[in-house]
Amino acid sequence: MSKRDTFNYSEARKNSQAAGETPLWYTTAGYQLFMKKYSNEGESVRSRFETVARAMAQHAPTVYPEWWEEDEYTRGKDWEQVFFDVMWDGFVSPSTPLLSNGGLRKKGTTVSCAGGLMDNNLYDRYNVMTEIAVLTKHSHGTSFSLTNWPSEGDAIRGGESQGVMPVIRDVINVMEEVAQGSRRGSCAYSINPRHGDFWNVIDHLYKRTESNNVGWLLDDNWCKAMAEKDPETLKRWKRMMFVKLARGKGYFTFIDKMNRHLAEPFKRAGLKVEASNLCQETVLPANDFYTFSCVILNYNLELYRSWPEHLVFIGQVMSDCNISEYLATMDEVSIQDRRALEKIYRFTKDFRALGSGVLGFHTLLQRERFPVGSMDAMFLNNAIFKGMKEQAEACNSWLAEVLGEPEGCRGLGKRNATTMMMPPTKSTAELMAGASEGIGLDVAMCFTKQSAGGEFFRVNKVLLEIIQERGLDWEECARQINERKGSVQHVDWLTDHEKAVFRTAFEVRMEDYLRLCSQRQKYIDQGQSINLYFTSNDSPAYISYIHRLAMEDPNILSLYYIYSMRGAGDISRTEECEMCM
Q: Rounded mean pLDDT of 352-376?
A: 98
Q: Which long-range CB contacts under 8 A does 169-174 form with residues at least 24 apart?
A: 170/129, 171/129, 171/132, 171/144, 172/208, 172/210, 172/211, 172/212, 174/129, 174/132, 174/133, 174/136
Q: How confident is the model at residue 1 (pLDDT cuts 50, 70, 90)?
A: very low
Reported as a single tens digit per residue, the pLDDT across 190-247 is 999 999 999 999 999 999 999 999 999 999 999 999 999 999 999 999 999 999 999 9
Question: Helix H segments across 58-93?
Answer: 79-88
HEC assignment per residue over 334-347: CHHHHHHCHHHHHH
Instruction: Look at residue 576 in the predicted model and tell me its pLDDT.
Output: 62
| Residue 577 pLDDT | 60
The band of 567, judged by pLDDT with boundaries at 50, 70 and 90, is: confident
The rounded distance, in Å, linking the Cα atoms of 444 and 504 is: 5
pTM above 0.85, yes or no: yes
CB 265 within 8 A of CB 414: yes
In sequence order, which ranges of 354-473 are alpha helices (DSSP H)?
A: 361-368, 375-403, 428-431, 461-469
Domain boundaries, the chain: 9-107+296-429, 446-492
Residue 503 has pLDDT above 90, yes or no: yes
User: Which pLDDT score, from 0 to 100, does residue 158 have?
Assistant: 80
Identify the pLDDT of residue 440.
98
CA–CA gap between residue 276 and residue 260 (Å, rounded): 14
CB 100 within 8 A of CB 141: no
Range from 40-49, 255-264, 424-433 carrying the lowest mean pLDDT: 424-433
Residue 444: is its pLDDT beyond 50? Answer: yes
**Residues written for the chain:** 581
Q: What is the largest CA-CA distance in the chain?
A: 79
Rounded-to-integer distance, Cα 161 and Cα 158, Å: 9
pLDDT above 60 (res 510):
yes
Q: Work out the pLDDT band at 273, boundaries 50, 70, 90.
A: very high
Concatenating the DSSP letter of every residue in 335-382 gives HHHHHHTHHHHHHHHHH--EEEEEE-HHHHHHHHT--TTSHHHHHHHH
15 vs 29: CA distance, rounded Å:
15
Q: Which of 25, 4, 22, 5 is nearest to 13 (CA)?
A: 22
Instruction: Give the C-alpha separation, 171 to 161, whole Å.
Output: 18
What rounded mean pLDDT belongs to the chain? Answer: 95
For β-strands 251-253 and 558-559, DSSP reports them as antiparallel
Q: What is the pLDDT of residue 205?
A: 97
Question: Is the predicted pLDDT of residue 525 greater than 80, yes or no?
Answer: yes
Rounded average pLDDT over 256-281? 98
At 24-39, the pLDDT tens digits run: 999 999 999 999 999 9
pLDDT tens by residue, 396-442:
999 999 999 999 999 999 999 999 999 999 889 999 999 999 999 99
**120 membership: H or E segment, kind and range:** none
Torsion of CA 549, 552, 555, 558, to 10 degrees: 80
- When mean pLDDT is compared across 156-160, 217-221, 351-355, 464-468, the lowest value belongs to 156-160
Confidence tier at 569 by pLDDT (50, 70, 90)? confident
Count of beta carbons in the 10 Å neighbourhood of residue 225: 18
